[in-house]
Amino acid sequence: MSGRGRPFVVMAIVGVMLLVACSVRTPRDGFTAARRGELANQAGTAGEQAGVQGGTATASGQASTNGGVNGAGGATSGAGGTSAGGSSGVGGPTGGSAGATSSGSTVGVTKDTITISAMAGFSGNYGAILTTIYDRGFGTWVDDVNAHGGIYGRKVVAKKVDNQDTVEGGVSACKTIQNNGSYLAVSIVGFGGADVSSADCLDRAGIPDLGLNLSGWSNRWARVYSAGDAGKQAKPMASYIRDVIGDNGRIGIIHTNDPVNNASRAGLADELHRLGMNLVHEETVSVNQASYVAPMTNMKNARVTTVALIENTNEVIGTIRDAKSIGYNPHYSGNFWVTDESSSGERALYDGIKALRNYSSTNSPGYADYVAKAKKYGHGDVITTGTAALYGIGLLAGQVLQNAGPNPTTAGLPGAIESIVNYNNGLTMTLSFGKGVKVAEVGMWPIQCCNSDNTWRGIGDPKTFF
Amino acid sequence: MPTVVLNGAFVGLVYGLLAVGLVVTYRTSRIINFAYGETGMLAAFFYFDMRLGRSTSTIQHDHGIGLALPAALLIGALIGLAMEWTIARPLRSNPTLNGMVATIGASLLFLTVATHRWGIQVRLTRPLVEGSGVRAAGLTISPSQLLIGGCALAILAALAALYRFTSLGLRFRATALNPYGAALSGINTNATSMATWAIAGALSALSAILIAPLVAPNVFFMTLLALRAFAAALVGGLTSIWGGFLAGVLLGVFEGVVAYKSPIAGVTDVIVAVSIIVLVVARPGGLVRAQY
């Protein structure tokens, strides 16, 4: 290479290494990331449907402004129904719509339809997977709701909006939503900053955004709601380690240096301190790191008895494998990496590990219900806990629409989201917003490796504290 | 510490192996092939399909390596040939930077194709050799790691013999030293270039297949490893096969020691990157100068 070209190449390579070191997350764990925020559920289709039917109703109960209470009438009829398959119904929220204006004046709402937009990187690197799970999971929810009359008699029209997994794509998705006549925007997942840029843009545009798996958060956002905050998802792990795994000894955290895992690590560390547990050692690793012998040797030397794996699937596999190679076998727990896809391949490594997940397992009643519906509506060609999670997101969206009441208004939408309290649809994580709360508290599913088909086995109900 | 150093040496063998392939290409074309890792990844995933079936999460069957391994090496070589034909050759008279940028484009293309074909989840695989490994310095060294060490040494010896004792190697060296002079002497530089890219492609495929069982391979598994290999090749001297290999091994050990000893979490990559800058500035020609 010429003397002139060489410095460029050196700087280019080193620059990329620094970028990786300081880095933006490169998601590699497949569905994991996509599931991170997905947890939501719906309060039960049946209840929802009941509300729909009854919802001709009227403004009689809708006047409640905070959505926390229902009024009489149609809104009430939707509450308390149990979702098919035994998942508990939402309990009752519901809420009245905050606004009492006529539906004719609300963007995205007509006499016969209500339109929502669902954003994800459908043309990004994970586009094929996202498209598959969206079409099967979310599509099942749309078909099911509409087959039962829609929400308050309005058919749900779901628009798939591509955020391209880029910052620019997120802004473009926001512009699309501003022009496609949507009542509600749901951000399923957005890599590469797409979720944050779209949220920021939608907030400025005055359009409420229900963001699942948001990789960032701004306190100045007024209309963005986060369901599945990474820190909130990690909090339950502290009491889980103490009371379910049964280790109140020496705890260690190994985490991948990316925004989501950093936030998750912070949430867990705070909770460990709050509970007075003994966090004795922490290690930070890079995405796709080649070896974990050094960090796990440090864990071993620190006599850590339970290691919390706040990493992506690839790093987790390497971490456990390298720990074994140095004869170190502590307890493990973790969250985001706990996918059925990886457990089928790495059963020998994972066997017996107790972890937490933001969506349920194949042995949950909600899953069986989903499977039946997916088959019923012709989406049964791909059925996984990943597609079930997308169905759960549909249920959550449906609950928000339900809470918005029979005469939904844009101004009333924040109240409809905030009235999601103690929400458990049996498929995704439990969620609690509340009046003025924009980042939901999260309840996680306890699971253990593994069922006979190598999927993770549910070992209880989702909780925020074990 | 001995455990970390020994493990680092085996990690370094991986970097070294990849660096060798980069050097082989660079010597002839003066292009750093940024799609080198992705070439191997593609070939490795075809190998998985042929050997274990198309499911990424289960092993449907195991047809063995008899057909899959040669086919994967051939696929790697063909990808190398295609890149020579579409990138290296048309851009030969242009600044080398153009060719390098084109290989970055190729790497993105390969990743996109692979993502759509196989998804992003971790691919279940099976090592070329099974066994419980051997224990040394508190570390269990897996048969796959031992195989990588053996293959790396064998490949280095074979390349040395090729360059030193064969007429093809003589043409490689002539083309590397002065492509215009070689052409004037009657050497078909197009053919030597094609052969070089094909060898590098096959080498990338073999490296990826050897490395995959050591990591949790998804379609990105070679990308960051190759980045380390680029650094090793640069530090080693870019034109020296032994230099690149040696730098790779040293990088692996250095990385492990830094990760083990660093008092601040998360700075390993930063320290390694800064060290590379310092080293390259202090010794611009690399650790080893090529002997043509």
pLDDT at residue B292 in the model: 62
- CATH 3.40.50.2300 maps onto chain A at 233-357+449-458
Q: Express as a percent the part of chain A with pLDDT over 70.
A: 77
pLDDT at residue A357 in the model: 93
pLDDT at residue B221 in the model: 86
The answer, yes or no, to whether residue B180 has pLDDT greater than 60, is yes
Cα distance between the two ends of chain B: 38
Which 316-345 residues of chain A touch chain B by CB within 8 A? 316-318, 322, 324-327, 339, 341-342, 344-345
Cα distance between the two ends of chain A: 61
pLDDT at residue A380 in the model: 87
Question: What are the start-end ranges of the H helices in A26-164?
Answer: 31-35, 45-54, 74-78, 127-133, 139-147
A456 sits in the region (left: phi over 0; alpha: psi -120 to 50; else beta) called beta
The answer, yes or no, to whether residue A62 has pLDDT greater than 50, is no
A102 pLDDT band, cuts 50/70/90, is very low
Strand spans (E) along A208-291: 209-212, 224-227, 250-256, 278-285
Phi, psi of A391 (to 5 degrees): -60, -40
Decide if A318 and B215 are in contact by the 8 Å CB cutoff. yes
Q: Which residue has the tokens 């002065």?
A: B178
A172 pLDDT band, cuts 50/70/90, is very high
pLDDT at residue A110 in the model: 92
Give B259→chain A minimum CA distance, Å: 6
Give B167→chain A minimum CA distance, Å: 25
Report the residue of A289, A291, A316 to disrupt the B interface, i.e. the one with the largest count of B CBs within 10 Å.
Answer: A291
Q: Which of B18, B28, B17 is nearest to B83 (CA)?
A: B28
pLDDT in tens, A160-170: 999 988 899 99
pLDDT at residue B57 in the model: 62
Question: Which of A43-52, A399-408, B59-68 is predicted with the least confidence, judged by mean pLDDT?
Answer: A43-52
Report the residue of B215, B227, B260, B261 to disrupt the A interface, i.e. the one with the largest count of A CBs within 10 Å.
Answer: B215
Give B72→chain A minimum CA distance, Å: 22
pLDDT in tens, B181-198: 888 999 998 899 999 999
| Burial category of B246 from C-beta neighbours within 10 Å (exposed 0-12, middle 13-18, buried 19 and up) | buried
* Domain A233-357+449-458 belongs in CATH node 3.40.710.10: no
Structure tokens at A363: 């042995």
pLDDT at residue A287 in the model: 79
**A389: DSSP letter:** H
The answer, yes or no, to whether residue A459 has pLDDT greater than 70, is yes
Mention every residue, 6+ apart, whose C-beta is less than 8 A from residue A129: A30, A31, A34, B119, B120
Nearest chain B residue to A128 by CA distance is B116
Q: Express as a percent the part of chain B with pLDDT over 90.
A: 23
Nearest chain B residue to A317 by CA distance is B216
| Burial category of A452 from C-beta neighbours within 10 Å (exposed 0-12, middle 13-18, buried 19 and up) | exposed
> A107 CB near a chain B CB, below 8 Å?
no
The answer, yes or no, to whether residue B24 has pLDDT greater than 70, is yes
B279 pLDDT band, cuts 50/70/90, is confident
pLDDT at residue B291 in the model: 64
pLDDT at residue B58 in the model: 66
Q: Does residue B25 sit in helix, strand or coil? A: helix
pLDDT at residue A105 in the model: 73
Nearest chain A residue to B100 by CA distance is A9
Nearest chain A residue to B98 by CA distance is A5
> A29 CB near a chain B CB, below 8 Å?
yes
pLDDT at residue A93 in the model: 36
A185 vs A202: CA distance, rounded Å:
8
Partner-chain residue, chosen from A3, A288, A327, that has the shortest CB–CB distance to B220: A288
pLDDT at residue B230 in the model: 86
**What count of residues does chain B have?**
292
B163 pLDDT band, cuts 50/70/90, is confident
pLDDT at residue B11 in the model: 85
Nearest chain B residue to A22 by CA distance is B270
Please compute the mean of the pLDDT values over residues A217-223 and round it to a whole number. 90
Decide if A291 and B32 are in contact by the 8 Å CB cutoff. no
Give A128→chain B minimum CA distance, Å: 6
The CATH number fitting domain A6-228, selected from 1.20.950, 3.20.20, 3.90.1200, 3.40.50 = 3.40.50
Please compute the mean of the pLDDT values over residues A370-389 and round it to a whole number. 91
Decide if B231 and A13 are in contact by the 8 Å CB cutoff. yes
Question: Which of A46-50, A303-307, B19-23, B225-229 is predicted with the least confidence, judged by mean pLDDT?
Answer: A46-50
pLDDT at residue A87 in the model: 33
Question: Which of A231-245, A415-429, B57-71, B241-255 is predicted with the least confidence, judged by mean pLDDT?
Answer: B57-71
The answer, yes or no, to whether residue A134 has pLDDT greater than 60, is yes
Decide if B56 and A126 are in contact by the 8 Å CB cutoff. no
Q: List chain B residues with CB under 8 Å of A326.
A: 3, 138-140
Mention every residue, 6+ apart, whose C-beta is less than 8 A from residue A377: A139, A140, A143, A144, A147
A40 vs A433: CA distance, rounded Å:
12
The answer, yes or no, to whether residue A75 has pLDDT greater than 80, is no
> In sequence order, what DSSP letters do the residues of B62-123 get, joined into one string?
---HHHHHHHHHHHHHHHHHHHIIIIITTTTTS-HHHHHHHHHHHHHHHHHHHHHHH-SSPP
Q: Which of B230, B239, B203, B201 is nearest to B87 (CA)?
A: B201
Quote ipTM for the complex: 0.78
Please compute the mean of the pLDDT values over residues A227-242 and round it to a whole number. 92
Mention every residue, 6+ apart, whose C-beta is less than 8 A from residue A213: A33, A34, A35, A36, A37, A38, A187, A188, A189, A190, A195, A228
Decide if A22 and B270 are in contact by the 8 Å CB cutoff. yes
Phi, psi of A80 (to 5 degrees): 80, -5
A247 pLDDT band, cuts 50/70/90, is confident
Q: Which amino acid is at B241?
A: I
Decide if B225 and A288 are in contact by the 8 Å CB cutoff. yes
Give A388→chain B minimum CA distance, Å: 17
The answer, yes or no, to whether residue A16 has pLDDT greater than 70, is no
Which 193-222 residues of chain A touch chain B by CB within 8 A? none
pLDDT at residue A345 in the model: 66
> A313 CB near a chain B CB, below 8 Å?
yes
Question: Which of A265-279, A366-380, B1-15, B128-142 is predicted with the least confidence, judged by mean pLDDT?
Answer: B128-142
Give A175→chain B minimum CA distance, Å: 26
What is the count of residue pairs from A and B with beta carbons less than 8 Å apart? 175
Please compute the mean of the pLDDT values over residues A304-319 and round it to a whole number. 91
B63 vs B58: CA distance, rounded Å:
14
Report the residue of B121, B214, B227 to disrupt the A interface, i.e. the one with the largest count of A CBs within 10 Å.
Answer: B121
Please compute the mean of the pLDDT values over residues A152-161 and round it to a whole number. 95
Average pLDDT, chain A: 78
Structure tokens at B241: 């096969």
Question: What are the start-end ranges of the H helices in A65-120?
Answer: 74-78
> A301 CB near a chain B CB, below 8 Å?
no
B109 or B213: which carries more pLDDT confidence?
A: B109
The answer, yes or no, to whether residue B246 has pLDDT greater than 80, is yes
Please compute the mean of the pLDDT values over residues A237-248 and round it to a whole number. 92
A450 prior amide bond cis, ω within 30: yes
The answer, yes or no, to whether residue A90 has pLDDT greater than 60, is no
CA–CA distances in Å: residue B269 to residues A192, B4, B37, B262: 21, 17, 19, 11
Nearest chain A residue to B263 by CA distance is A283
Q: List chain B residues with CB under 8 Å of A312.
A: none
A318 vs B153: CA distance, rounded Å:
25
* Number of Cα atoms under 13 Å in the Cβ half of residue B269: 26
Which of A123-137, A404-418, B258-272 reaches the highest mean pLDDT? Answer: A404-418
